[in-house]
Amino acid sequence: MKFLLTSFYLAATTIVAIAPASQSQAAILSFTADLTGPNQSPPNTSPGTGTALLALDNIANTLRLQVTFSGLVGNTTNPHIHGPTTVAFTGTGGVVTGLPNFPLGVKSGSYDNLFDLTQNSSYNTDFRTASGGTAASAQAALTSSLEAGTAYLNIHSATFIDGEISGFFLPVAQSTSVPEPSYTLGLFGTLGAGLILKRKIKIQSSKSPLK
């Protein structure tokens, strides 16, 4: 029995020790932004609304951006991802990238595009230059800005030239290679059960008559 318990503790301890390390292997960073006039800087009274979903895959080096919007006062002109701002969730920043093939000249619509982050053309030239001059350094800067809450999406219109609706990106989840919470809790639950079992065996052994 002592051998079995020892083997159990070695296995459980090894699994628990490995679990946190796998969190650093997260591939997809997900963010969302609530686009409104009041979120614009400076705020405006546009009734327009929108939602942006961003998934950054730091293994495949891609960024997928999905946007829906409606109710704009003016027709769309130039939409951008901006950043970094000086302070998280407030202020304005330079252009990180434009949004190719975004629907222009409309007051509502949707957008879905996959960016190849290894390409220089996926970034605004000034942003890439300020971030180290390469696509890889620009990707790192964009990732840091998203995680720090200093990146936002801005949809410009003919009525609101500086931007009609805007919203900062907020983290949603980290990706598929991170252990599920229930799995991690299960490991600790199993380890706890082993401790209880060991204590119970010790108590029973102390009560057993000597032979």
Q: What is the pLDDT of residue 177?
A: 40
In three-state secondary structure terms, 170 is strand
Residues 6+ apart with CB under 8 A from 182: none
Going 105 to 163 to 172 to 177, the CA torsion angle's sign is: positive
Q: Is the pLDDT of residue 192 over 90?
A: no
Most distant pair of Cα atoms in the chain: their distance:
94
Q: What is the pLDDT of residue 27?
A: 87
Q: Is the pLDDT of residue 9 over 80?
A: no
Instruction: Count how many Cα atoms sit within 13 Å of the Cα of residue 79 in the half-sphere of its side chain.
Output: 29
pLDDT in tens, 85-103: 999 999 999 999 999 999 9
Are 130 and 144 in contact by the 8 Å Cβ rule? The answer is: no
Q: Is the pLDDT of residue 194 over 60?
A: no
Q: What is the pLDDT of residue 45?
A: 96
Q: Residues 52, 89, 71, 98: what is their CA dihedral angle, to the nearest 10 degrees? A: -60
Rg (C-alpha) for the chain, rounded Å, is 25
Q: Is the pLDDT of residue 197 over 90?
A: no
pLDDT in tens, 165-183: 999 999 996 544 433 444 3
Better pLDDT: 186 or 82: 82
Structure tokens at 70: 């409606």
Mean pLDDT of the chain: 81
Per-residue pLDDT, averaged over 98-126, amounts to 98
The Cα 109–Cα 103 span in angstroms is: 7
Give the DSSP H or E segment for 145: helix 135-148
Q: What is the pLDDT of residue 205?
A: 45
pLDDT in tens, 21-63: 433 456 899 999 999 999 999 999 999 999 999 999 999 999 9
pLDDT in tens, 122-173: 999 999 999 999 999 999 999 999 999 999 999 999 999 999 999 999 999 6
